[in-house]
Amino acid sequence: MGAKSFVAIFVLAACLCKGLSSPIEREEQNADYELLNRNDELVLRSDLALPQSLDSSLKSLAKEVQLKTDEVEAMVFVLKAKAASNQTVSDAASNQTVSDAASNQTVSDAASNQTVSDAASNQTVSDAASNQTVSDAASNQTVSDAASNQTVSDAASNQTKTVSLRPLN
């Protein structure tokens, strides 16, 4: 009889525990489950907010870097354009110095002034449109602002020397 009473008490205890606590436990379990789901949703939302904020800050940083890159590219373009033109301009808008070409020219103080070298018809023109020094030709001439100016020439290196003689005051 000891074993039968033991089994009966065990079954009765099991039924009482299951019967008394079942509805309360289910409500508590549902409440706990809903709280856990809400907490999980909040955690997921906060976890998603962090990468989104990082993404937006990285996008703004990338835009700033792109703007600075564009500024640097513009500066490089200007510097390349200046280097490509290879000109020295002074005293007039048309003044140029061009070197290492067959028709080298130096223009200064007037739009029509030229010094041409390394060509068969070398000329020096200064201070007026009609002033010329021509060398390496049979009839070398100097035309300038004073009647007493002289040209010394006839050298293989096409040198022109202009001597200006002025009356003493």
Of 33-47, 66-80, 136-150, which gets the smallest average pLDDT?
136-150
Taking Cα atoms as reference points, which of 123, 159, 158 lies closest to residue 144?
Answer: 123
Average pLDDT over residues 28-49: 66
Q: Check whether 18 has a pLDDT greater than 60.
A: yes
Mean of the per-residue pLDDT values for the chain? Answer: 63
Per-residue 3-state assignment (H helix, E strand, C coil) for the chain: CHHHHHHHHHHHHHHHHHHHHHHHHHHHHHHHHHHHHHHHHHHHHHHHHHHHHHHHHHHHHHHHHHHHHHHHHHHHHHHHHHHHHCCCCCCCCCCCEECCCCCEEECCCCCCCEEEECCCCCEEECCCCCCEEECCCCCCCEECCCCCCEEECCCCCCCCEEECCCCCC
For residue range 143-161, list pLDDT tens digits in order.
555 555 555 555 555 555 5
- In the chain, where the domains are located: 1-85, 88-169
Note the pLDDT of residue 134: 47
Q: Check whether 107 has a pLDDT greater than 50.
A: no
Which pTM does this prediction carry? 0.23
Q: Give residue 21's pLDDT band: very low, low, confident or very high (50, 70, 90).
A: low
Q: Give residue 136's pLDDT band: very low, low, confident or very high (50, 70, 90).
A: low
Q: Check whether 52 has a pLDDT greater than 70.
A: yes
Instruction: Return the top range by mean pLDDT from 7-11, 77-81, 103-107.
Output: 7-11
Q: How far apart are CA 113 and CA 121, in angstroms?
A: 15
Note the pLDDT of residue 46: 66
- Of residues 136 and 39, the one with the higher pLDDT is 39
